[in-house]
Structure 1
Amino acid sequence: MSSSQRSQRIGSRVKRGGRAIGVCLAVGLLGYLSGTAAGIGTIGHLSLLGYSTETVDEIGLSVAFNVVGAGGTAVSYLIVRRHGFDREFIVDFLRLRRPTRWDLGWVVVGLVGAFVAVVGYQQVVDLIEPLGGSEGTTHSGIEAGREYPVLFLLGIPLAVLLTGPGEELLFRGILQSRLRETFPTAVAVVLTGLVFGAVHLPVYIGSEPSAVVVSLGTVTTLGLYFGVLYECSGTLLVPALIHGCFNATVYLTNYLTYA
């Protein structure tokens, strides 16, 4: 192969890689913006109807963000890409299949592993300067729940039914699968994990910079972990359930602590 051909081949790869990253960033940003807009609209309508309370607003925001922002954006991408609803393509692209008993084992072991990953990450942070000993800041939804503990109980089914499936559909199902078409699997997992962490930045804004960095690192670590689970299990069901159950466990723990 001549140097000219080699240069053209490298240029083509760089172009394809840049296009894939651009598409994924655009889809991720669209998911965040549409979810935010839907959440604000939902809260506004609830207020007009006289149901505006901290509890109702948090529930409305969560439902709107995951259904419209994550789920709606993911479905829209699949439809636009194939110019219509292509069931065979969707099943193959998202790696959907009938669950097996092995998948249940993945979920149980994977849920324990998620907490191990978070604890391990914090231990690493404790050894790094200037973050040594730093703790992450609290998610805005958790802060609201500590004032209104009923939010935690309501958040448990929402986490399992909406948050886990919605976010995993968008990030692992759409973004990671799209990046995997262009990049090696490991690179796709890392890039998706970074995007997953970045879109969570707004919920931590306002805290100390070191706390925000630690919190985003925690979210990114979980994103990488869910990405690995998706690849190892071969089905989107596994990370979706583990993600939802992880959040639900956090809610339950907070409820038992603050109720």
Structure 2
Amino acid sequence: MSSHVGGRTALIAAVAIVVAIGLGAGGLLLGFLLTLVGGVVLTLIGIEVTPSLGIVLSLVFVQGVGCAGVALAYVQVQPEIRPVLRERLGVPIDATRFSIGASVPNLREALVVAGGYVLAFAGALAGAFAITAYQALSGTSLETGTNQAAQIGMENPEVLLLLIPASILLIGPGEELLFRGVVQGRLREVFSPVTAIVATSVVFAGLHWFALTGGSATGNLVSIGVLIVPSLVFGASYEYTGNVVVPALIHGVYNATLFTLLYVTIAYADAIPGGIAMAAAAF
């Protein structure tokens, strides 16, 4: 009897993992595919897809439709799908409705936003400077890739001025709805808070591998490792407050800061330490 119960528990955990990762990766993949299709359609009708227009398409389809859209759709269809899936798998039917906590932050949550932003940014910078110091002391060189949005921004600085507000209005909310609201929320139903936060952070950071251009496998892995630090902060803030607006704001302001620093780096190249460029490479 106990082995049967243990088997059902393992099955429930496995389903949670598959669903969580599938939703996270699927949301991003859907957004990228729609962005590609949108670019092709615009080209066919004679509209040039400039870097700025390409970023707009990506923001609308990846963060808007892919991330936020998939997250909100899951909240709506989960009550219909979950009982059917559990019945077919032979596990107890749980009619609990999945939800994502979202509200205007109160004073305590606003303080969490401020503290989380400082921790996320300080952690990313510390990681970037540690890597720079290691390379200088060891005499080795890590070829780290560059985030595609950052690469476009470096080649077309005006795009960065679009990405700064978009980070707060679209990127932070869209990605946090999907990854903290749905992926972490789904894992949290089965696993402990620490496990859910760490697993979601690893998945979130790992999927950014596909957004990197250039760099060696080792260098890109290091860049992804730097991103895990702010990801943990995003996840912990959601677990602590139960309000997805909190990590969305931390994430949005964090990204906006990196885009701002990248813009300033381009405008005042001689005045900005090289380590900041590495921090900006792993959004």
Query: Do both share a fold (TM > 0.5)?
Result: yes
How far apart are 1:135 and its partner, in Å?
A: 6.6
How far apart are 1:101 and its partner, in Å?
A: 1.9
Name the amino acid aligned to 1:202: F
Residue 62 of structure 2 corresponds to 65
How far apart are 1:133 and its partner, in Å?
A: 6.7
Task: Please list, as runs of the form range in 1=range in 2, the aligned pairs for 1:154-165 lying within 5 A after superposition.
Answer: 154-165=162-173
Q: Does 1:204 align with 2:212?
A: yes
Residue-pair matches, total: 250
Name the amino acid aligned to 1:76: A
How far apart are 1:231 and its partner, in Å?
A: 1.0
Of residues 7, 10, 22, the one that matches 1:14 is 10
Of residues 96, 101, 113, the one that matches 1:107 is 113
How far apart are 1:132 and its partner, in Å?
A: 7.3
Residue 186 of structure 1 corresponds to 194
Residue 75 of structure 1 corresponds to 72
In 2, the alpha carbon distance for the partners of 1:230 and 1:59 equals: 28
In 2, the alpha carbon distance for the partners of 1:183 and 1:100 equals: 28
SS of match in other structure, 2:146: coil
Residue 53 of structure 1 corresponds to 50
How far apart are 1:244 and its partner, in Å?
A: 0.5
Q: Does 1:30 align with 2:36?
A: no
How far apart are 1:238 and its partner, in Å?
A: 0.8
Please list every run of 5 or more consecutive structure 1 residues that lacks an aligned counterpart in the other structure.
none
Residue 151 of structure 1 corresponds to 159
Contact 1:131 1:210 in 2 (8 A): no
Please list every run of 5 or more consecutive structure 2 residues that lacks an aligned counterpart in the other structure.
82-95, 268-283
Instruction: Give the % identical residues.
Output: 32
Task: Give deviations 1:77-100, integer Å, cap 9, x for gaps.
Answer: 11111249xxx956xx21223421
In 1, the alpha carbon distance for the partners of 2:39 and 2:100 equals: 32
SS of match in other structure, 1:94: coil
| TM-score when normalising by structure 2 | 0.80
Task: Give deviations 1:35-72, integer Å, cap 9, x for gaps.
Answer: 11111122223323423212221222222111111011
Of residues 211, 214, 224, the one that matches 1:216 is 224
Contact 2:117 2:250 in 1 (8 A): yes
Residue 137 of structure 1 corresponds to 145
Contact 2:160 2:263 in 1 (8 A): yes
Contact 1:42 1:61 in 2 (8 A): no
